[in-house]
Amino acid sequence: MLVDSVHLEFGQHQVLQSAYLTAKTGYVTGVLGRNGTGKSCLFKCIMGGIKPQNMFIRINDERETDYAHIGNRVKYLPQNLFMPSNMSLNEAFSLYGVDYDGLVTFDTKYHTYQHKTFNELSGGEARIVEMYLVLMSDADFCILDEPFSNIAPNCVDKMQSLIQTQKKNKGIIISDHLYEDILEVTDDLFLLRDGYTFPIKSRDDLIRNGYILR
Amino acid sequence: MSLLVVSKPLSVDICVIIKLISIPIIWYLRANLSRGLEMYFYLNLGISRKEYWIIPFAVEFVAFTVLMVISSIIGFAIR
């Protein structure tokens, strides 16, 4: 997937200027950036939730990409909880075409949660379910926006293993402020700064671009 | 609804009842389809942003139209 020339502004405030991102099956692409640099906005532009002033997107060198229904090919995990609060886990898994038994295998705690609704779960539990659902859905690409927030460390390790497993079947784009967790799982890394994306090859590049101090 | 009331003044109560019945439908649809990040739940299912916003209004319009037609048929049958 190639995303290029993303230009987004809200009134006088320019969020993204010619932002660029690529993702490939079998690779995990990391996106880092300080608060307010437009990472979530970039992802929402890709998913169609926000209409940018300009954007070019192409999947697999196709002549035309059905951008309006991109959800058929790209799944997105937003930064905050997004499942309808009154929907049961069973119903959500059915709609997304994911086997619930897989979640129970992932964490046996969810064995009795099948008929619970999302508003009956804790924030962390709901986050894990959402992330599992998005990762296991049938899609060419997955975008995970700060997936490790509010997650216990042992679950972060499990999620990282799941990402490594799923990347064989799809391209994964991931962003988080816990950059060391991101560095562990990513194959390619971009830094979003001042509306532009910069490729990052090493920790020194992060220091040079002012993302970390040392 | 206005035309109906003009042509048949006694149908005001029917129009009000029909509108009252449609309120829970509109409320349910908007409560479930227009909250913050929930839009992405539906975008992930392949629904476009335009379809996401139009669906509640379309359903409301169709449901209200059906109710109005049924009530008109009932009105004529009563006459």
Cβ–Cβ of A76/B43 closer than 8 Å?
Answer: yes
Average pLDDT of the residues in A74-96: 91
* Predicted local distance difference test score (pLDDT) of residue B74: 74
Give residue B57's identity as a one-letter amino acid code.
Answer: F
Q: Which of B36, B38, B46 is opposite residue A71, by nearest beta carbon?
A: B46
Residue A93 — very low, low, confident or very high, per pLDDT cuts 50/70/90? Answer: very high
- As a whole number of angstroms, the distance between CA A24 and CA A22 comes to 7
Q: Following CA atoms A8, A10, A12, A17 in sequence, which dihedral angle do they give, to the nearest 10 degrees?
A: -10
C-alpha angle with apex A206: A204 to A212, nearest 5 degrees?
110
Residue A135: its pLDDT value, please? Answer: 93
pLDDT at A138: 92
Q: What is the mean pLDDT of chain A?
A: 88
Instruction: Kindly list the domain boundaries of chain A, sorted by start residue.
Output: 2-208
Chain A and chain B share a number of CB contacts under 8 A equal to 52
Between these two residues, B35 and A201, which has the higher pLDDT value?
A201
- The position carrying tokens 């997304």 is A96
Q: How far lies B13's CA from each of A94, A99, B75, in Å?
A: 43, 50, 12
Picking from A51, A82, A96, the nearest residue to B40 by CB comes out as A82
Confidence of residue A207 (pLDDT cuts 50, 70, 90): confident
With a pLDDT cut of 90, the percent of chain A lying above it is: 38
pLDDT tops 70 at residue A150: yes
Is residue B5 pLDDT above 60, yes or no? no
For residue A16, pLDDT over 80 is answered with: yes
Average pLDDT over residues B34-50: 85
Residue B3 has pLDDT above 80, yes or no: no
Q: Are B70 and A75 in contact (CB under 8 A)?
A: no
Torsion of the alpha carbons at A94, A98, A103 and A105, rounded to the nearest 10: 120
For chain B, say whether A123 makes contact (Cβ under 8 Å).
no
> Residue B31: what pLDDT?
62
Per the structure block, which two tokens stand in for A158?
A: 């499990």
| Residue B29: closest C-alpha in chain A | A84
Element (H, E) at A164: helix A153-166
Pinpoint the alpha helices (H) of chain B: 2-7, 12-33, 38-43, 49-78
Length reported for chain A: 214
Give the residue among A203, A197, A201, A206 at the shortest CA–CA distance from A2: A197
**Of residues A102, A55, A81, the one with CA closest to residue A145:** A81
Q: What CA–CA distance (Å, rounded) separates A105 from A99?
A: 10
pLDDT at A2 over 80: yes
Q: Does the pLDDT at position A1 exceed 80?
A: yes
The token duo for A207 is 């220091």
Q: Which residues contact A10 (CB under 8 A, 6 or more apart)?
A: none
Would you kindly state where each structural domain of chain B is located, as residue ranges? Answer: 2-78
Looking at the complex, report in whole angstroms how far the Cα of residue B54 sits from the nearest Cα belonging to chain A: 14
Residue A130: CA atoms inside 13 Å, Cβ hemisphere, count?
A: 35
Q: Do A47 and B40 touch (CB under 8 A)?
A: yes
Domain A2-208 bears CATH identifier 3.10.150.10: no
Q: Which helix (H) or strand (E) holds A23?
A: none
